[in-house]
Structure 1
């Protein structure tokens, strides 16, 4: 691949190729690389002017360098951009002596006979540049080492396209012109990719094609009327198919658990939810096996447990203790529903968000088990208290008659 000097190297090499041809065929003819609207005294007379008016991505090579980065954004190979160079060749001289047409014939014959810019042509250009100036800007070019050679092809521009090119870009009277495209120039970034250590030992193992499937996660407590209502310290059962095997771990959110010994079966396994890394909310559950295979990810709603140890709120703040602990980034909301409201009106209901960072002021602390909720505008009365953490709500207690009765807080 080549560096940023390659485009200028192509233009200079092409100019030298045309210069050598037209000066032999037409007396006094030269080749330049100026804008067509340059002052008349600077343009060749007679001769040919080479102007690159457009650069486009090469459709064949545009994705050849992908992927250049890993999923983490780290560079894994040097990016390469593939370009096509569009040139306008304009011919000048005395129309009375047909010099533009004679130079045109010389240039087109040469480009048809030598349509490829070879490594030898590039090296000759660099050698001539060094003779001209030992500090010439092209001396750092490495186009000659490119894996692809630049090939020149005439472009059949219509009269309308040529007229637009001259009237819009140059705004100068039209001169005899033809268009060529040079393809392809590969420009490589100088960024060095990160290389991983080589593989020292290769291990290849064959395992039967299988996929463990978790279909349902339930609490095994027979007294729980809602099997999907799961709290910390509960024993849960993963139900599905092909769950047996050498289990490495079961990931629940950020926690890594081991199944209860002797509970692993083809259609079920059990877990004790006691890891300190567990968090309330909607958590993904996935079984990982020692052979590297994994189950699907199933959803588990781990409900928070709360303790309201202040039966009456007199300060405008309601303290609530949580199990498991709450992280500073989790969204926590408390809900108050009036308990035993009078029959002649609708019950009062309120919700309050936790303070910023769930009240954790120390930036080095990640979790808390207690949050103070600021309350305002609450009518006096007794209220049932619920919280929602990460989309999972705490459960309410019920009395013998099946009515919700706790936890309660009184607002005087």
Structure 2
């Protein structure tokens, strides 16, 4: 980015504009006698403590500061993943100025002075190093002696001035906010001021050895996901991912439901085979093939993703493993286990029994699931989730049981023309 400025840069810009305008007061023909350039609030120009209407001059007032998004977006990341500073942050700002002319209206002094200011800022639209240094030499004493420490003149990006026309409504609002009666004026934008914090940073260690690793670029394309057996995708199902360029140069994984599945034996560039782990929760997911460069324990280079395929939707359906009747309850066990925040609903549909006025369907909803505690060994299976329903919610008869988790519904089985399992009989 080059050299930037310290926190005195804004004051230095205001002072430099003041200097440019002051130089124009002596221009021929017919300069306004006794005129000066001030940096007061506009309300002070007619107040008792200000210069008053008996005097003439120009006033420079900074009324707004906004971020310069183009420069802020070009700034590189300033912090490491651990949060420590790796380079000094830079704030890029645009400054908005109100240049006001005042004096004897009968002698047209405000108009004569405003014409000089417009011409001066047109002649000097860029604040060069020489102009800034002359301004600081002139005004860097007394209450503004701090300007000697300003380094705006060394900023690599020169500050540029341009007129900023306002509508009549905007002018009215601006002077209303300033709390002053309108005086003849113009608005200008100064861009860009680059402020850098004087804070310590941690620099990276030097590179000890450079290695060039050239790999061919292959864009993985995932076209279709097929479930073996043509049934729904349930825990333990074998999934076949069809496409092109699916196997990466180093390591390939399948990302689904926040988990990574390892391709099985026989996977090729056009077909990747994975088993649906019980760690993948029920519900709708986006499945992707991911190419990974593993962590290098020798160099310490962390794992990084080198490529991703497009995403294909996959709905993982819950499966009821068994339905029992411990004392006073109907207990439904479901895989995969419910993950934190998942909502489950158990629906009972009457198969046999019951009176005509008794309900044929009973639905029981459960609150969001708590945090799921997984086994320490990742190879150990997750135990199924248990959903207990008070038996008194059901009348006597046989009921077909279904479970819905986050909108994905279990699929019952049929031994004939009708679904009949899993079921529970309530005496």
Fold equivalence (TM over 0.5): yes
Q: Does 1:394 align with 2:410?
A: yes
Contact kept, 8 Å, 2:335 with 2:385, in 1: the verdict is no
Q: Does 1:184 align with 2:213?
A: no
* Equivalent position of 1:301 in the other structure: 315
* Equivalent position of 1:91 in the other structure: 102
Correspondence 1:284-323 to 2 at 5 A:
284-289=286-291, 292-311=306-325, 315=328, 317-323=329-335
Contact kept, 8 Å, 1:257 with 1:271, in 2: the verdict is yes
Contact kept, 8 Å, 1:211 with 1:242, in 2: the verdict is yes
- 1:213 shift after superposition: 2.5
Where structure 2 has 5 or more consecutive residues not aligned to the other structure, the ranges are: 294-305, 377-381
Q: Pick closer, same or farther for the CA change 1:325–1:180 going to 2, 3 Å.
A: closer
Aligned residues: 392
Write out per-residue CA displacement over residues 58-81 of structure 1, whole angstroms, 9 at most, x where no aligned residue.
9xx6423326687x9x89984544
Where structure 1 has 5 or more consecutive residues not aligned to the other structure, the ranges are: 221-226
Cα distance in 2 for partners of 1:5, 1:63 equals 22
Q: Pick closer, same or farther for the CA change 1:196–1:257 going to 2, 3 Å.
A: farther
Write out per-residue CA displacement over residues 334-374 of structure 1, whole angstroms, 9 at most, x where no aligned residue.
1111122569678611222223435x699999x86333434
* Equivalent position of 2:157 in the other structure: 148
Contact kept, 8 Å, 2:317 with 2:409, in 1: the verdict is yes
Correspondence 1:169-318 to 2 at 5 A:
177-188=184-195, 190=197, 201=210, 203-207=212-216, 209-220=218-229, 227-241=230-244, 243=246, 248-261=252-265, 263-265=266-268, 267-273=270-276, 275=277, 277-289=279-291, 292-311=306-325, 315=328, 317-318=329-330
Secondary structure of the 1:278 match is: coil
Q: Does 1:122 align with 2:124?
A: no
Secondary structure of the 1:357 match is: coil
Contact kept, 8 Å, 1:216 with 1:239, in 2: the verdict is yes
Cα distance in 2 for partners of 1:80, 1:110 equals 29
Q: Pick closer, same or farther for the CA change 1:195–1:212 going to 2, 3 Å.
A: farther
Q: Pick closer, same or farther for the CA change 1:139–1:380 going to 2, 3 Å.
A: farther
Contact kept, 8 Å, 2:25 with 2:113, in 1: the verdict is yes
Cα distance in 1 for partners of 2:195, 2:387 equals 58
Cα distance in 2 for partners of 1:37, 1:300 equals 67
Secondary structure of the 1:14 match is: helix
- 1:333 shift after superposition: 1.6
Q: Normalization by structure 2: what TM-score?
A: 0.71
Contact kept, 8 Å, 1:93 with 1:99, in 2: the verdict is yes
Secondary structure of the 1:325 match is: coil
Contact kept, 8 Å, 1:328 with 1:368, in 2: the verdict is no
Secondary structure of the 2:71 match is: coil
* Equivalent position of 2:71 in the other structure: 64
- 1:90 shift after superposition: 0.9
Cα distance in 1 for partners of 2:159, 2:225 equals 62
Cα distance in 2 for partners of 1:387, 1:208 equals 45
Q: Pick closer, same or farther for the CA change 1:240–1:149 going to 2, 3 Å.
A: closer
Q: Does 1:382 align with 2:401?
A: no
- 1:129 shift after superposition: 5.0
Contact kept, 8 Å, 1:384 with 1:405, in 2: the verdict is yes
Q: Pick closer, same or farther for the CA change 1:14–1:250 going to 2, 3 Å.
A: closer
Cα distance in 1 for partners of 2:272, 2:38 equals 80
Contact kept, 8 Å, 2:336 with 2:385, in 1: the verdict is no
Q: Pick closer, same or farther for the CA change 1:123–1:228 going to 2, 3 Å.
A: farther
Secondary structure of the 2:141 match is: helix
* Equivalent position of 1:403 in the other structure: 418
- 1:217 shift after superposition: 1.5
Contact kept, 8 Å, 1:383 with 1:409, in 2: the verdict is yes
Q: Pick closer, same or farther for the CA change 1:236–1:335 going to 2, 3 Å.
A: same
Q: Pick closer, same or farther for the CA change 1:20–1:240 going to 2, 3 Å.
A: closer
Cα distance in 2 for partners of 1:362, 1:234 equals 23
Q: Normalization by structure 1: what TM-score?
A: 0.73
Contact kept, 8 Å, 2:323 with 2:330, in 1: the verdict is no
Q: Pick closer, same or farther for the CA change 1:368–1:165 going to 2, 3 Å.
A: same
Secondary structure of the 2:72 match is: coil
- 1:50 shift after superposition: 0.9
